[in-house]
């Protein structure tokens, strides 16, 4: 046994030297055991070298490389060597060495049972129970155009590969075993997988970093930037819609052009469009990841650029304010959620049809104090503003009311312009209009149609002051409640002026040319809701008769009134409450004891200042509800004890030491009394003159005029 062991060790040393000379790499022990295990289980099929084709993402195709033979030495030690048979180019001879253990001989070498070796490339032999069984390795068929057989190998490999491919001819010279190929392919596969994982990892890190940064930014700047972000998103959405509408329009134009083209031209155009589509598809694929795979998600479209607000403009919630910003045109704003736009105090001259396309939900628009002209307004400029409720165009250069105003409009102001006509169609479709202001224009009964106000079914507030009217305009809507006609040239009020205005509550006619005899007796006496009339600064010489029954508030300041006729307020119910007669020519002869009849229990304020009264008028003590009395700036010299406060003599209370009767003063509601700028000697006033007034501080006596 010792001699046999020495022989085995000697052979082992020889084989190691031969192995170093052929520069063969050692196969990992795990693979050798796997190969041996396969050989022992599959019988004769294990004699064939296993055919494996690694799956790679590159275009390299590698044929099967024969595996290195296994030699079983002493049933325990397993080593890997190159073929030791036929190294010198001589043919091998095989014979059976008889024995109990079934050993074989090959060229004089003893092979143990189950030993495997390769005498030639592509040939594998097995010693099985004293018999030598050899088989030839089968190579896989290749699909490449050009193949080469590397040195020391039996199967061809592809040569038409990329320079970086592992099967390059220069690289194949150093590959002699299946294990080396497996190792190289495994490394290449791991490298590709590692690269892919690294790319996905970086993408994931970038995504998380962006999300973290975005979340931190939102948390830190939420209150400061929330409104701005909402504004940007609204503008982006509106811009996108505008682009979609533009694309639809372009498509319609293209269809129209196609209908007029020759069939041959259509075919050519269709072919060119298909080629362009293929090019775009190829480009889309090439824009994938590093492995040229189609992108998993669509490429995000960058948000449309939103024009910044001009200098001098600001935004707050849903309002953009550009007051006095020196604008010459309406700024291009795209914000579907904007509800208020303020452009007051600029030099805008025109409003094109597309001016408000980006802000269709506008509810309030202020264009006051610009230079807008009627020809500069497009016929469809306001049509898109379906939700517009308030439009202010004061202080421009309009000669006509703008056309196609939205039917949702509730308030329209065109004061201080050059309007010189309102026809029956000017206010068409404005059935929801509540307030209309057309002051300081050039309107008159001659250029305002009697049917102009007919469409205004909801109008309750109408201002036509500072125009050229000589009479009250005809055709006022039945819904009117407040009418302002101050600073015109109105000379008369006819019986038919207010026949259809049963809801009217306030009429202002100050600064006109009215005389009491030019007011028809039936002009307004039967009005049931008319409570306030202002006839200040007209040409009245006495308080008009036939005032409305429902009147509560009468202003007659600044006329030439000399007399208050008796019983002029007697027909009123519930009674007049406020009477202002300041700055007239009233004297004591013009006020009768029954001038205030009908108002004794209702009158709360009476202004008689700046007249020519010489003493306190009769009837003041009868006014039970009076709280404010003005008699200043008259010619009054004294205040008798019973003209303002009524005294009552009490006969039951008599002082034992005195025979004088005591007087009790009746309580009064008077809280404010003005008697300054008269000729009253305050030292001579009776102590009971103002005893009914609750607070003496409410009585104003100074200064007085010098005699």
Predicted confidence (pLDDT) per residue in 489-510, tens digit: 999 999 999 988 999 999 999 9
328-337: per-residue pLDDT in tens?
A: 999 998 989 9
Q: How high is the pLDDT of residue 64?
A: 39
140-197: per-residue pLDDT in tens?
A: 666 666 777 776 677 777 765 444 444 444 444 444 455 666 676 777 777 777 777 8
Question: CA 322 → CA 224, 333, 343, distances in Å?
Answer: 21, 12, 5
CA distance 705 to 707: 6
Question: What does the mean pLDDT of the chain come to?
Answer: 77
613-641: per-residue pLDDT in tens?
A: 999 998 898 998 999 999 999 999 999 88
Q: How high is the pLDDT of residue 214?
A: 61
CA distance 49 to 123: 9
What DSSP string describes 413-482? E--SS----B-TTTTTT-TT--EEE--SS---TTTB-TTTTTT-TT--EEE--SS--SSPPS---TT--E
- pLDDT at residue 515 greater than cutoff 70: yes
| Residue spans of alpha helices (H) in 133-262 | 169-172, 178-220, 222-259
DSSP one-letter code for 47: G
Does residue 457 contact residue 433 with C-beta atoms inside 8 Å? no
More confident call, 653 vs 420: 420
- pLDDT at residue 521 greater than cutoff 70: yes
- Among the listed ranges 131-140, 220-229, 656-665, which one has the minimum average pLDDT value? 656-665
Q: How high is the pLDDT of residue 445?
A: 93
Which SS3 state, helix, strand or coil, does residue 106 take? strand
- Among the listed ranges 13-17, 90-94, 512-516, 591-595, which one has the minimum average pLDDT value? 90-94
At 116, the pLDDT band (50, 70, 90 cuts) reads: confident
424-483: per-residue pLDDT in tens?
A: 999 988 999 999 999 999 999 999 999 999 999 999 999 999 999 999 999 999 999 999
At 34, the pLDDT band (50, 70, 90 cuts) reads: very low
CA distance 602 to 624: 8
More confident call, 138 vs 296: 138
232-252: per-residue pLDDT in tens?
A: 777 778 877 887 887 788 887
Lookup result for tokens 């129970």: 129
- pLDDT at residue 123 greater than cutoff 60: yes
Q: How high is the pLDDT of residue 145?
A: 66
At 72, the pLDDT band (50, 70, 90 cuts) reads: very low
Please, which residues have CB within 8 angstroms of residue 442's CB and are 6 or more apart in sequence? Answer: 418, 419, 420, 467, 468
Looking at the DSSP bridge assignments, the partners of residue 80 are 70
Q: How high is the pLDDT of residue 467?
A: 97
- pLDDT at residue 651 greater than cutoff 50: no
Q: How high is the pLDDT of residue 68?
A: 38
Q: What is the pTM of this model?
A: 0.58
Total length of the chain: 707
Q: How high is the pLDDT of residue 352?
A: 94
Which tokens hold the place of 387?
A: 């939700």
Q: How high is the pLDDT of residue 376?
A: 94
38-67: per-residue pLDDT in tens?
A: 444 444 333 344 344 433 333 333 333 343
250-273: per-residue pLDDT in tens?
A: 887 777 776 665 555 555 556 556
Q: How high is the pLDDT of residue 18?
A: 61
552-567: per-residue pLDDT in tens?
A: 999 999 999 999 999 9
More confident call, 38 vs 208: 208
Please, which residues have CB within 8 angstroms of residue 69's CB and are 6 or more apart in sequence? Answer: 81, 83, 116, 117, 118, 124, 125
């Amino acid at each position: 046994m010792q001699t046999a062991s020495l022989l085995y060790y000697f052979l082992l040393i020889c084989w190691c030297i031969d192995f170093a000379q052929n520069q063969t790499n050692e196969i990992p022990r795990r693979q050798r055991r796997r190969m041996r295990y396969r050989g022992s289980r599959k019988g004769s099929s294990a004699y064939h070298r296993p055919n494996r084709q690694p799956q790679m993402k590159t275009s390299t195709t590698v044929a099967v490389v024969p595996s290195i033979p296994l030699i079983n030495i002493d049933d325990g030690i397993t080593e890997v060597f190159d073929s030791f048979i036929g190294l010198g180019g001589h043919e091998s001879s095989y014979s059976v060495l008889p024995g109990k253990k079934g050993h074989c001989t090959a060229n004089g070498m003893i092979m143990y049972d189950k030993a495997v070796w390769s005498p030639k490339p592509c040939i594998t032999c097995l010693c099985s129970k004293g018999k030598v069984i050899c088989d030839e390795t089968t190579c896989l068929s290749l699909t490449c155009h050009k193949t080469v057989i590397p040195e020391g190998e039996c199967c061809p490999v592809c040569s038409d590969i990329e320079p970086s491919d592992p099967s390059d001819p220069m690289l194949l010279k150093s590959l002699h075993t299946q294990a080396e190929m497996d190792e190289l392919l495994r490394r290449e596969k791991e490298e590709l997988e590692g690269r892919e994982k690294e790319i996905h990892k970086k993408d994931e890190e970038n995504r998380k970093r962006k999300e973290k940064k975005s979340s931190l930014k939102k948390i830190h700047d939420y209150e400061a930037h929330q409104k701005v972000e909402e504004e940007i998103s609204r503008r982006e959405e509106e811009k996108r819609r505008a682009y979609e509408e533009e694309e639809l329009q372009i498509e319609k134009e293209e269809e129209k052009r196609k209908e007029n083209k020759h069939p041959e031209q259509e075919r050519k155009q269709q072919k060119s469009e298909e080629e362009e589509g293929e090019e775009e598809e190829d480009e889309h694929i090439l824009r994938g990841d590093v492995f040229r795979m189609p992108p998993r998600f669509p490429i995000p479209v960058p948000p449309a650029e939103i024009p910044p607000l001009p200098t001098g403009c600001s935004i707050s919630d849903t309002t953009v304010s550009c007051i006095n910003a020196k604008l010459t045109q309406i700024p291009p704003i795209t914000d579907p959620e904007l509800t208020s736009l303020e452009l007051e105090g600029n030099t805008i001259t025109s409003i094109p049809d597309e001016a408000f396309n980006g802000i269709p939900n506008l509810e309030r628009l202020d264009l006051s104090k610009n230079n807008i002209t009627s020809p500069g307004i497009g016929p469809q400029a306001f049509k898109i503003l379906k939700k517009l409720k308030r439009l202010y165009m004061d202080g421009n250069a309009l000669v006509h009311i703008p056309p196609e105003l939205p039917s949702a409009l509730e308030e329209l102001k065109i004061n201080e312009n050059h309007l010189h006509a309102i026809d029956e169609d000017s206010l068409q479709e404005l059935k929801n209009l509540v307030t209309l202001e057309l002051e300081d224009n050039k309107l008159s009964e001659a250029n305002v149609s009697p049917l102009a106000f007919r469409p205004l079914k909801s109008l309750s507030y109408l201002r036509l002051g500072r125009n050229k009217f000589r009479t009250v305009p005809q055709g006022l809507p039945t819904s009117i409640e407040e009418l302002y006609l101050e600073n015109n040239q109105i000379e008369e009020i006819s019986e038919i002026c207010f026949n259809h205005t049963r809801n009217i509550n306030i009429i202002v006619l100050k600064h006109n040319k009215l005389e009491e005899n030019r007011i028809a007796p039936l002009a307004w006496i039967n009005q049931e809701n008319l409570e306030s009339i202002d006839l200040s600064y007209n040409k009245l010489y006495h308080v008009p008769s036939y005032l409305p029954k429902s009147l509560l508030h009468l202003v007659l300041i600044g006329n030439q009134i000399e007399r208050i006729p008796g019983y002029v307020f007697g027909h009123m119910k519930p009674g007049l409450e406020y009477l202002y007669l300041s700055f007239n020519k009233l004297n004591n002869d013009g006020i009768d004891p029954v001038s205030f009849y009908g108002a004794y229990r209702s009158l709360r304020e009476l202004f008689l200042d700046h007249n020519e009264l010489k003493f306190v008028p009769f009837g003041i003590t009868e006014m039970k509800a009076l709280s404010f009395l003005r008699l200043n700036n008259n010619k009054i010299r004294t205040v008798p004890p019973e003209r303002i406060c009524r005294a009552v003599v009490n006969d039951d209370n008599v002082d034992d030491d005195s025979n004088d009767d005591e007087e009790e003063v009746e309580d009064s509601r008077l809280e404010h009394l003005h008697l300054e700028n008269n000729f009253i000697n305050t030292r001579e006033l009776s102590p009971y003159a103002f005893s009914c007034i609750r607070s003496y501080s409410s009585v104003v006596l100074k200064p007085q005029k010098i005699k």
